[in-house]
A and B are shown apart, each in its own frame.
Chain A
């Protein structure tokens, strides 16, 4: 264990600044170096999680520079952090590996930004300090803006700006919340704030919770704050779409899960649960309806990300530990499936993602044609894919809480998503006049990434029993 918590933040930062140096001095080894760096990063995260697991304690506190939580800033690794570190670490690794082929001509800036995002994400997950949280949020966000614009098309530039304005406003709200927390408690340490949060006057409490929840809802792209997401996710290059959908959205999910228990769900001041339920229902239905109205595959996938964030918001909003566990589980599944779908669609289409030009495209690409079908079937929520299990958990939590209406929203969303994915299949898998043996096969590294996402989304159902128990333990510890 020892210094791993700080290393997973510092090492990718170091990598980020080594990459331009290496590609300047030894351009021929850039590819292998970046791959190795990605693996080292994922390895460190894995070692950290394993170390945490082996220690068998609730939480590991890592004081920076030897200063304790009373004066210094500490990193804190608990079960929730470990779970998200695993999800995000895997996601980042897949994005890095996939980028090698897809972004072969990319400048080294691309990887610099990618590793800064990687570092910022781990910072968000590990910090126990409100202000550091803000710094890391901004760090990962700022690095992701130019990543959206990496293709330098006009639409991508505008999407990036659009994304940026929304994110900055949401960060401002989060900063407002942090300032209010400090003003009311005189502390920025999450544990200390949690201990005294009940004593804050009601209006201040409501304002704090309100600014955090709204700020984070913008980050998670819940409707009606979603509108930045479809352009940003659709205009970015495919690995970055996967990064935004699969990994960066989960940042917001993590923060919701981390902060809401600290704020006691705003009990007695602002009814966060009901708010999240209302927004969640709106998001599930609205996200899927918006996806139905798109003619661009990546926009469809992006809108479906909105809907899936709605599932997660419902899981959190239901309130019990089971819904929380389901939301956690769904974060893992959504990362695998959505990343897989974006990776696949990147291989299927070259250049334009308009459905009208993609007739039969999936039949001409292997294995992306197959993995695309698998990932999207998982996104609909069909077995044998993991999201079947996580949706069951969220629905069951709702039914157990007496909210059958909420439980019925999830399968309603699945039906809507079957409509638009069905339409996509109609086009992508329609035999076209082109020669059938004109099949392109992805390079081996890309193939591995595609297969990992597809098999992974099945594996989460196979191991659903164990995963559900692990996530339930985490949720129990947070809200039980």
Chain B
């Protein structure tokens, strides 16, 4: 019996494999990973950082192809270690602090997953993926919730991705949250709360994105928002929901990586991603602008770019969930507005700052090529959604999005968003960057460390007081534990 228990823990039995569910993730990770690595290499990073990026991509692949929960957990934690090293590899105090917070968030996530998985194994007797038992759900919700950046655990996303070096955040941004989405498909199918979790992420994420002053923080918060779409989709656990969510995963990885590349290119050339001090880059970096524009159109779901298709299918799949559906529509308006803001401040408006007036050069070809390839991908899979549809988990017959109702449904939120931005631009530019919940967490951490410090000082080096404890516990043990 004991040996059975050991057997069920599956030590030493690592299993990797591709099936219908993770196929689309593998395609997305391989493709975008390659592009990201090309971009990273073009930025001539230290060899260590390039190696880390490669290992990170491989670890994420391992995570989504894991054949049992133990393998999954091991790769899950490996991703944490590697991404922590990648974030701190920028070498600045800011990146180290962000890395520290990232480490904490994800160690907590790993802890939740670990308990959940073991509860699961105890119930089913094997490490194979299985529908969650009631006892395991809260632990999985904690672990996966942190990983996907659910409210209120979302703050690590903008924090880490805006603090890492640009080439690192290009590689990082695609994978961690998507692995969380994948984990929902595998480990939390059919939990009713999850679509609402996704809706909250989509709304809060985009609201905060709209108010950010750094382009990579806008992108970070919009990751939270977009992952909310995917979570809402796959959380339904219906065939169409999972398909639409999975398609949104690959689309999102493509355009978000593209947007991070463009933002990184600006940082490399101008040295900053502080929106109020940028502007007019369309003149100097037209290629980057085009790529950013493609990314922005895709993320806003403008037809015929790829975001349009997946969002359309998502909304069809969410037919029975009006609350979630409306939340996503409102989030779509916000997305349109926030990316209009991004393009406006970075490229379109007249430069009012000297940093730009020096006339920065266009990006290197090494960086431009992966950007262009991704832009082409975004357009191509938007025009021909059937290219990817065959690889989706259920690959069922999907309605054609290019109908009049589909096109209008896709087009009006971004248009409304742009209109909103145009009207409210002055207001938005004066709004302060909003505080986020992690200010609270940091306070809590400081308080905890203060308590620990005091406790250590109080108990330390008091020989006799501590000796007394032996006597006390001895007596208590004899009296109580009998």
Indicate yes or no for A touching B, C-beta below 8 A.
yes
Given A290-B459, A466-B12, A469-B6, check contact A419 B454 (CB 8 Å): no
Cross-chain contact A227 with B2 (CB below 8 angstroms): no
> Is B47 part of the contact surface with A, judged by Cβ < 8 Å?
no
- Any A CB within 8 A of the CB of B3: yes
Which of B9, B451, B463 is within 8 Å of A162, CB to CB? B463
List of A residues within 8 angstroms of B103 by Cβ? 418, 422
**B457 CB, min distance to chain A CBs, angstroms:** 7
* Residue of B111, B454, B481 with highest tally of chain A CB at under 10 A: B481
Are B115 and A419 closer than 8 Å at their CB atoms? Answer: no
Q: Is there a chain B Cβ closer than 8 Å to A210's Cβ?
A: yes
- Asked if A345 is at the interface of the complex by the 8 Å CB criterion, the answer is no
Whether A415 pairs with B481 at a CB distance below 8 angstroms is: no
Q: Which residues of B from 114 to 163 have beta carbons under 8 Å from A?
A: 114-115, 118-119, 121-122, 135
Asked if A468 is at the interface (CB within 8 A of a chain B CB), the reply is yes
List residues of chain B with CB within 8 A of the CB of A411.
Answer: 110-112, 114-115
Q: A293 to B452: give the CA distance in the assembly, Å.
A: 5
Partner of A383, one of B78, B115, B118: B78
Tell me if A149 counts as interface (CB < 8 A to partner B): no
Please pick, from A169, A290, A389, A396, the residue contacting B467 in the complex, using a CB distance under 8 A. A169
Query: Given that A210-B478, A214-B473, A293-B452 are contacting pairs, would A396 and B78 also be in contact in the complex, using a CB cutoff of 8 Å?
Result: no
Q: Are B482 and A271 in contact (CB under 8 A)?
A: yes
Residue of A207, A225, A293, A419 near B455 (CB, 8 A) is A293
Asked if residues A392 and B9 are in contact (CB atoms below 8 Å), the reply is yes
A377 interface residue (CB < 8 Å to B) = yes
Contact stretch, chosen from A4-12, A106-114, A424-432: A424-432
Determine the distance from Cα of A466 to Cα of B9 in the docked complex, in whole angstroms: 12
The yes or no answer to B373 lying at the interface (CB within 8 A) is no
- Pair A383/B74 contact, Cβ less than 8 Å: yes
A148 within 8 A of B: no
A397: nearest chain-B partner, CB-CB: B5
Smallest CB separation, B442 vs chain A (Å): 12
Given A389-B11, A407-B115: A383 and B73 interface contact (C-beta under 8 Å): yes
Q: Is A465 interfacial (CB-CB < 8 Å)?
A: yes
A166 to B465, CA, bound (A): 12
Residue in A218, A322, A380, A392 whose Cβ sees the most chain B Cβ within 10 Å: A392
Q: Which of B88-96, B203-211, B271-279, B354-362 contacts A (4 or more CB under 8 A)?
A: B88-96
Which among B2, B445, B461 is the interface contact of A419 at CB below 8 angstroms?
A: B445
B interface size (C-beta, 8 A): 59
> What is the bound-complex CA distance between A196 and B121, given in angstroms?
40
B227 CB to closest chain A CB (Å) equals 23
For the complex, would chain B's binding face be called helix, strand, loop or mixed by DSSP majority? helix
| Chain A residues touching B, majority SS | helix
The distance from the CB of A60 to the nearest CB of chain B, in whole angstroms, is 24
B78 CB contacts on chain A under 8 angstroms = 383-384
B481 partner, pick from A271, A393, A404, beta carbons under 8 A: A271
A469–B3 alpha-carbon span in the complex (Å)? 7
- Closest CB of chain B to A451's CB: distance in Å? 19
Asked if A275 CB lies within 8 Å of chain B CBs, one says yes
Cβ–Cβ < 8 Å partners of A404 in chain B: 115, 119, 135
Question: Are A322 and B5 touching (Cβ within 8 A)?
Answer: yes
Contacts of B3 in A (CB 8 A): 469, 472
How far does the alpha carbon of A39 sit from the alpha carbon of B448 in the complex, in Å?
46
Q: Does A117 contact B (CB under 8 A)?
A: no
Q: Of A274, A396, A423, which is within 8 A of B9 by CB?
A: A396
Is residue A480 within 8 Å, beta carbon to beta carbon, of the partner chain?
yes
Contact B2 A475 (CB under 8 A): yes
**B118 CB contacts on chain A under 8 angstroms:** 392, 395-396, 399, 407
The chain B residue with its CB closest to the CB of A380 is B107
A294 at the interface (CB under 8 A from B): yes
Contacts of A392 in B (CB 8 A): 9, 114, 118
Q: Does the CB pair A207–B452 fall under 8 Å?
A: no
For A222, the closest partner residue in chain B by CB is B473
Q: Is the CB of B478 within 8 A of A377?
A: no
Interface residues of A in 363-396 (CB under 8 A from B): 377, 380, 382-384, 388-389, 392-393, 395-396
Query: How distant is B453 from chain A, measured CB to nearest CB, in Å?
Result: 4
* Residue interface bits B77-111, CB-to-A below 8 A is 1, else 0: 11011000000100101001100100110011011
B430 within 8 A of A: no
Evaluate contact between A290 and B74: CB separation under 8 angstroms: no
Instruction: Provide the residues of chain A in CB contact with B13, threshold 8 Å.
Output: 465
User: In the complex, A480→B481 CA distance in Å?
Assistant: 23
A125 near B: Cβ within 8 Å? no
Q: Given A206-B482, A396-B122, A476-B2, check contact A294 B461 (CB 8 Å).
A: no
Residues 163-200 of A contacting B (Cβ, < 8 Å) = 165-166, 169-170, 173
In the assembly, what is the distance between CA of A392 and CA of B9, in Å?
8
Interface contact B11-A465, CB-CB below 8 Å: yes
Residues A393 and B114 in contact, CB atoms below 8 Å apart: no
Whether B2 and A325, one on each chain, are in contact in the complex, defined by CB atoms closer than 8 angstroms, is yes
CB distance from B88 to the nearest CB of A (A): 7
In the complex, A349 has a CB within 8 A of chain B: no
**Chain B residues whose C-beta falls within 8 Å of the C-beta of A389 in the assembled complex:** 11
Q: A395 touches which one: B12, B114, B467 (CB < 8 A)?
A: B114
B456-A415 in contact (CB<8A): no
CB < 8 Å neighbour of B452 from A230, A290, A321, A396: A290
Task: Render B425-469 as a binary contact track against A, CB cut-off 8 A, 1 for contact.
Answer: 000000000000000000001001101111111011111001101
Nearest neighbor of A299 in chain B, beta-carbon distance: B456
B409 CB → nearest A CB, Å: 44
User: In chain A between 438 and 480, which residues have their CB closer than 8 angstroms to a CB of chain B?
Assistant: 462-466, 468-469, 472, 475-476, 480
Residues of chain B within 8 A of A284, CB atoms compared: none
B6 touches A213 (CB 8 A): no
The interface residues of chain B lying within 8 Å CB-to-CB of A170 are 470
Contact with A along B21-44 (1 / 0, CB 8 A): 000000000000000000000000
A304-347 interface code vs B (CB 8 A; 1 in, 0 out): 00000000000000001110010000000000000000000000
Q: CB-CB < 8 A to B445: which residues of A?
A: 419
Within 8 A of B (CB), among A268-302: 269-272, 274-275, 279, 289-294
A463 to B14 alpha-carbon distance, docked (Å): 12
A382 touches B77 (CB 8 A): yes
Q: Is A239 on the interface with B (CB-CB < 8 A)?
A: no
Check if A399 sits within 8 Å of B74, measured CB to CB: no
Q: Is B477 on the interface with A (CB-CB < 8 A)?
A: yes
- Asked if A429 and B88 sit within 8 Å, CB to CB, the answer is yes
* A468 contacts B11, C-beta separation under 8 Å: yes
Partner among A218, A429, A468, A472 whose Cβ is within 8 Å of the Cβ of B470:
A218
CB pair B115 A408 closer than 8 Å: yes
Residues of A within 8 A of B452 (CB): 289-293
Q: How far is the CB of A239 from chain B (nearest CB, A)?
A: 24
Across-interface contacts of B73 in A (CB, < 8 A): 383
Shortest 9 CB-CB distances between A and B: which pairs? A465-B12, A411-B111, A293-B456, A293-B452, A292-B452, A227-B466, A464-B11, A293-B453, A465-B11
**Would you list 29 pairs from A and B whose C-beta atoms are within 8 A, ordered by A residue?**
A158-B461, A165-B467, A169-B467, A169-B470, A170-B470, A210-B477, A218-B470, A227-B460, A231-B460, A271-B482, A279-B473, A289-B451, A292-B449, A382-B107, A383-B73, A388-B74, A399-B119, A404-B135, A407-B119, A408-B115, A418-B103, A418-B104, A423-B100, A425-B100, A429-B96, A430-B96, A463-B12, A472-B3, A472-B5
